[in-house]
Amino acid sequence: MGIFDRFRRRSTGGPAAVRARLEGAMAKRRLRGWNPPLENINALVASGGPRLLARARELVVTNGYAANACEAFAANLVGDGIKPSSLIEDAALRDRVQRLWLAWTDEADADGLTDFYGLQAMVAREMFVAGECFVRLRPRRAEDGLTVPLQMQLLQSEMLPFEKTGTAANGNRLRCGIEFDGIGRRVAYHFRRRHPGDSTDQGAAIPETVRKRHGVTLRGEA
């Protein structure tokens, strides 16, 4: 009997024998009391997501190391902003498009706080803290006086209710505020109208949500 035959004989025994050799699955003294339930990530987010998010936000506000880590993440992800470069061959048309783009970047923020590149940095910070950020595309009327009738509104993760799970009025499934159709596609998000943590907004306590079709709202995830 060769050495490889002896190895194969010792290795037989089926899946149970394989599991016994995986240190993370053993029941030794240090691991005997560690028996966590096998839960899906959605169940973990639904049960502990709001508390975990609140703690992450407080750390970034009160802890200098966390704040610096957040800024470093945003700086490495987008820097001064991800800037597009036109491939239009016509120089005159390219110049017109570029000037129109630069004018729109100054008006892109629906809240009027920053420009398009500042929005990128805000999204990056939200991804570091909350793991995601929502961007709502806001078409505008011609009489609003914008260079391009379109703006972008950032929505924090809290605007999507973790607890909204069940069946929508149209029969689709709702999981943590996200609506899925019969074949599992994301078709809509059910956002709160007001931020639940804003104590200065008297209507924030009202659990009212509004349905937004998927594709109108973009989602950035870490």
User: In this prediction, what percent of the chain has a pLDDT beyond 70?
Assistant: 84
**Residue 4 pLDDT grade (very low, low, confident, very high; cuts 50, 70, 90):** low
Give dist(CA 58, CA 67) in Å, integer: 10
Q: What is the pLDDT of residues 153-186, one digit of tens each?
A: 999 999 999 888 899 989 999 998 999 999 999 9
Residues 191-200: what's their mean pLDDT?
87
Cα–Cα distances (Å) from 44 to 38, 40, 50, 196, in that order, read: 10, 7, 11, 21
Q: Is the pLDDT of residue 218 over 70?
A: no
Average pLDDT, the chain: 85
Cα–Cα distances (Å) from 210 to 46, 151, 156, 164, 191, in that order, read: 20, 19, 15, 12, 5
Q: What is the pLDDT of residues 53-100, one digit of tens each?
A: 999 999 999 999 999 999 999 999 999 899 988 899 999 999 999 999
More confident residue, 196 or 8: 196
Q: Taking the C-alpha atoms of 71, 73, 75 and 77 in order, what is their torsion angle to the nearest 10 degrees?
A: -150
Give dist(CA 120, CA 98) in Å, integer: 19
